[in-house]
C-alpha cells in the first residue's frame, strides 16, 4: 500500500474517479445549505412537495418560515423588481432583482422570520463592508449593498442586498463540469487571498466550502432588461404550489416555486473573479464558538469534529478541501455512505491514515456525532485501514478536452469543459489524461502539508501563498 505522504511517480491505473454526486444537474448560482431547515417531513404540512429538483421546500412557507416572493414583485418602493430565482439555503431564499436606481442586477436574500432577528450573517457582512476597499483582497468578498425588513403573513423578514453572482465552485467542479488547470490555479489563489483578507479583519469564515465560493458575472448582464435576460437564459421554470387538501394557496405562500437560473448556460457571462459568500458560520478569531459548526462534515477538520476546536487552522483545512474539489471535481472527504461527521472521518482515515491516539477510541452516537463516554448507546468507530491514499487521489484527477470558454477581463485562456466521451470514458487519450507530473507533484506537496491532523503542523496562509 502506498503511504499517504510520498513523492509522486504517476502510474497507469483505473480511469474511474470516486465522486460524491453523479446525478446530472444544471449549474446553479447558489447551492442548498447543509444546515437543518424548518422544512421537516412534508406530510405534516399544508403544501405538497414540488416535483422540481432545485427549489425550496414549500413546507417552509409558514409562520416563522420563509417570505412568499413572486416574480415581478417590487420592494423598497419599487426600487427592486424580482426577475428570477438564484437559489435557497437552509433559512433563506435568494432572488435576482433589477435595481431601478442603479440600473444593475442585485441579489436579494430573504431570511426566515424566525432567524431574522440577530442573524449572524448580517453582523459579519457589516464588519466586512466597513473594511478598506483599498486592499486588493477586498474584491474577493461579498459586501452588503443594502438591507431592509419586510412584513408578511409569516412574520418579519430581514432582506440582504448584495451583488448578483454566478455559479458556485461546487456546481462547476463536478464530474460533468470542471475548470481547467490555469483557471483552477487562479480561482484557488483568489480563495487564499479572500481568507487572508477576512483574517486581517479578525474573522474566520467557518464554512469555507465550494458552495460558498461563487464566480462573478461580467457587467454585460446589467445592460439587459428582464425580457432580454429571459431571451438569453430562458424563461423561469415554474411549478404551481399545491395544497394537500386541494384548497387555494393563501398569502403565506408564493403562487409558484421557481427553478434557479443557470448562468453557466451562457459561459461568456462568467468571469474568473470570485466572491466569498455566506457568513452565518463566521466568528471572530479571538472568540471561537464552543459548539460544532454547521459546516458540511466533509469539510470539517478532525479537531473541529472531535474537540469542537475551530479557528484559522480549521479554515485552512477547509481551504485544502476546496483546492482539491476545484481541481478534481469531487470532494476528497465525501462519502457515498452518508454526510454525518463519522462518514467524513472514515474517509479521512482511508485517505490520510490512522488518527492520533487521543481520537481513536472516541465514541459516536447513532446520529454520527462524537458522544460522551458515559453514553451507553454510543459506540467506538471501526475505521478501515488506509485504502485511497492522498497520492493516489491526486494521480486520479483527470483532464478533459476543451469545452465552452470562460473569459475574464485579463483574457486568461481557460475552459469550462465536459468530457467528450462521457465521464470515466476510456475512449480517447485526451479525455482520460492525467494532470502533468509537475502539477501533480506541486498539488500533492501542498495538500500533504495542509491535511495534517495536528493544526499547528498545517501550513499557514502566507506559506500557502508562497508555495510554488
> pLDDT at position 268, please?
86
Do the Cβ atoms of 5 and 448 come closer than 8 Å?
Answer: yes
pLDDT of 403 > 70? The answer is no
pLDDT of 90 > 90? The answer is no
Would residue 54 count as lying in a domain? Answer: yes
Do the Cβ atoms of 298 and 345 come closer than 8 Å?
Answer: no
> pLDDT at position 413, please?
33
Query: What is the Cα–Cα distance from 45 to 217, expressed in whole angstroms?
Result: 38
pLDDT of 139 > 50? The answer is yes
Q: Compute φ and ψ for 220, nearest 5 degrees.
A: -60, -25
- What pLDDT digit, counting tens, does each position of 237-248 carry? 999 999 999 999
- What pLDDT digit, counting tens, does each position of 161-210 carry? 999 999 999 988 887 777 777 888 899 999 999 999 999 999 999 999 99
> pLDDT at position 173, please?
84
Would residue 161 count as lying in a domain? Answer: yes
The grid cell for 407 is 473569459
Q: What is the band of 295 on the pLDDT scale with cuts at 50, 70, 90?
A: very high
- What pLDDT digit, counting tens, does each position of 356-368 carry? 999 999 999 989 9
> pLDDT at position 317, please?
98
> pLDDT at position 397, please?
77
Would residue 10 count as lying in a domain? Answer: no
Q: What is the band of 301 on the pLDDT scale with cuts at 50, 70, 90?
A: very high
Q: What is the band of 44 on the pLDDT scale with cuts at 50, 70, 90?
A: low
Q: How far is CA 6 from the centre of its chain?
A: 30
Q: What is the band of 373 on the pLDDT scale with cuts at 50, 70, 90?
A: confident
Do the Cβ atoms of 179 and 185 come closer than 8 Å?
Answer: no
- What pLDDT digit, counting tens, does each position of 142-153 carry? 999 999 999 999
The mean pLDDT of 92-103, rounded to a whole number, is: 97
Q: What is the band of 461 on the pLDDT scale with cuts at 50, 70, 90?
A: very high
Residue 242: other Cβ atoms inside 10 A: 18
Do the Cβ atoms of 189 and 183 come closer than 8 Å?
Answer: no
pTM over 0.85: no
> pLDDT at position 298, please?
95
Query: What is the Cα–Cα distance from 29 to 26, expressed in whole angstroms?
Result: 10
Would residue 371 count as lying in a domain? Answer: no
> pLDDT at position 265, please?
82
Do the Cβ atoms of 241 and 47 come closer than 8 Å?
Answer: yes
> pLDDT at position 84, please?
98
| CATH number of the domain encompassing residue 289 | 1.10.510.10
Q: Which domain holds residue 413?
A: 42-334+388-466
Residue 86's SS3 state is: strand
- What pLDDT digit, counting tens, does each position of 54-67 carry? 899 999 999 999 99
pLDDT of 352 > 60? The answer is yes
For 315-338, b where at least 16 C-beta lie within 10 A, e where not — what string? Answer: bbbbbbbbbbbbbbbbbbbbbeee
- What pLDDT digit, counting tens, does each position of 411-453 carry? 333 444 444 433 332 233 333 334 778 888 999 999 999 999 9
Would residue 209 count as lying in a domain? Answer: yes
Residue 354's SS3 state is: coil
Query: What is the Cα–Cα distance from 101 to 161, expressed in whole angstroms?
Result: 13
**Residues 435, 427, 266, 91: what is their CA dihedral angle, to the nearest 10 degrees?**
-70
* Lowest pLDDT segment from 312-321, 359-368, 387-396: 387-396
Residue 94's SS3 state is: strand
| Nearest Cα to Cα of residue 46 among 63, 58, 64 | 58
Query: What is the Cα–Cα distance from 302 to 371, expressed in whole angstroms?
Result: 15
Please report how many Cα atoms fall inside a 13 Å half-sphere around the Cα of residue 462, on the Cβ side: 2
Q: How confident is the prediction for the chain on average, in pLDDT?
A: 82
Query: In angstroms, how far is the first alpha carbon of the chain from the final one?
Result: 28
Please report how many Cα atoms fall inside a 13 Å half-sphere around the Cα of residue 106, on the Cβ side: 25
Query: What is the Cα–Cα distance from 277 to 168, expressed in whole angstroms?
Result: 10
pLDDT of 136 > 90? The answer is no
Would residue 448 count as lying in a domain? Answer: yes
Query: What is the Cα–Cα distance from 165 to 171, expressed in whole angstroms?
Result: 13
Would residue 59 count as lying in a domain? Answer: yes
DSSP code of 287? S
Sheet of 178-179, strands arranged across: 178-179, 415-417, 404-405
Residue 274's SS3 state is: strand
More confident residue, 27 or 388: 388
The mean pLDDT of 285-295, rounded to a whole number, is: 92
> What residues are paired with 370 via a beta bridge?
364
Residue 345's SS3 state is: helix
Query: What is the Cα–Cα distance from 257 to 378, expressed in whole angstroms?
Result: 41
Question: Any idea how long the chain is?
Answer: 468
Query: What is the Cα–Cα distance from 418 to 205, expressed in whole angstroms?
Result: 31
Do the Cβ atoms of 392 and 9 come closer than 8 Å?
Answer: no
Structural domains in the chain (count): 1
Please report how many Cα atoms fall inside a 13 Å half-sphere around the Cα of residue 358, on the Cβ side: 6
Would residue 410 count as lying in a domain? Answer: yes
Amino acid at each position: 500500500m502506498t503511504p499517504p505522504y510520498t513523492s509522486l511517480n504517476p502510474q497507469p491505473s483505473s480511469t474511474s474517479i470516486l465522486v460524491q454526486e453523479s446525478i446530472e444537474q444544471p449549474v446553479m448560482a447558489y447551492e442548498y445549505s447543509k444546515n437543518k431547515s424548518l422544512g421537516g417531513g412534508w406530510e405534516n404540512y399544508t403544501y405538497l412537495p414540488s416535483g422540481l429538483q432545485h427549489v425550496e421546500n414549500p413546507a417552509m412557507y409558514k409562520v416563522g418560515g420563509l417570505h412568499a416572493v413572486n416574480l415581478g414583485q417590487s420592494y423598497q418602493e419599487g426600487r427592486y423588481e424580482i426577475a428570477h430565482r438564484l437559489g435557497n439555503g437552509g433559512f433563506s431564499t435568494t432572488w435576482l432583482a433589477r435595481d431601478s436606481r442603479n440600473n444593475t442586477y442585485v441579489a436579494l436574500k430573504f431570511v426566515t422570520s424566525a432567524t431574522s432577528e440577530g442573524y449572524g450573517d448580517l453582523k459579519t457582512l457589516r464588519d466586512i463592508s466597513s473594511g478598506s476597499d483599498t486592499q486588493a483582497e477586498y474584491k474577493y468578498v461579498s459586501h452588503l449593498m443594502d438591507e431592509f425588513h419586510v412584513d408578511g403573513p409569516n412574520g418579519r423578514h430581514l432582506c440582504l442586498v448584495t451583488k448578483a453572482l454566478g455559479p458556485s465552485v461546487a456546481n462547476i467542479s463536478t464530474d460533468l463540469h470542471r475548470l481547467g488547470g490555469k483557471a483552477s490555479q487562479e480561482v484557488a489563489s483568489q480563495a487564499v487571498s479572500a481568507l487572508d483578507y477576512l483574517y486581517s479583519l479578525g474573522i474566520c469564515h467557518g464554512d469555507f466550502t465550494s458552495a460558498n465560493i461563487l464566480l462573478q458575472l461580467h457587467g454585460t448582464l446589467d445592460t439587459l432588461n428582464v425580457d432580454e435576460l429571459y431571451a438569453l437564459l430562458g424563461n423561469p421554470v415554474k411549478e404551481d404550489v399545491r395544497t394537500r387538501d386541494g384548497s387555494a394557496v393563501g398569502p403565506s405562500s408564493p403562487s409558484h416555486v421557481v427553478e434557479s437560473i443557470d448562468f453557466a448556460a451562457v459561459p461568456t457571462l462568467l468571469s474568473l473573479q470570485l466572491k466569498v459568500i455566506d457568513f452565518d458560520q463566521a466568528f471572530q478569531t479571538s472568540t471561537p464558538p464552543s459548539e460544532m459548526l454547521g459546516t458540511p462534515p466533509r469539510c470539517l477538520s478532525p479537531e473541529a469534529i472531535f474537540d469542537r476546536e475551530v479557528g484559522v487552522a480549521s479554515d485552512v483545512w477547509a481551504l485544502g478541501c476546496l483546492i482539491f474539489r476545484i481541481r478534481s471535481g469531487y470532494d476528497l472527504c465525501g462519502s457515498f455512505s452518508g454526510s454525518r461527521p463519522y462518514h467524513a472521518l472514515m474517509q479521512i482515515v482511508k485517505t490520510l491514515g490512522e488518527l492520533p491516539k487521543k481520537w481513536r477510541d472516541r465514541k459516536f452516537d447513532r446520529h454520527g456525532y462524537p458522544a460522551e463516554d458515559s453514553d451507553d448507546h454510543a459506540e467506538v468507530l471501526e475505521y478501515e485501514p488506509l485504502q485511497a491514499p492522498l497520492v493516489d487521489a491526486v494521480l486520479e484527477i483527470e483532464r478533459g478536452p476543451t469545452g465552452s470558454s470562460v473569459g475574464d477581463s485579463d483574457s486568461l485562456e481557460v475552459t469550462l469543459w465536459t468530457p467528450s466521451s462521457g465521464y470515466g470514458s476510456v475512449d480517447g487519450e485526451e479525455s482520460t489524461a492525467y494532470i502533468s507530473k509537475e502539477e501533480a507533484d506541486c498539488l500533492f506537496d501542498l495538500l500533504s502539508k495542509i491535511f495534517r491532523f495536528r493544526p499547528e503542523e498545517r501550513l499557514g496562509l502566507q506559506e500557502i501563498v508562497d508555495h510554488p
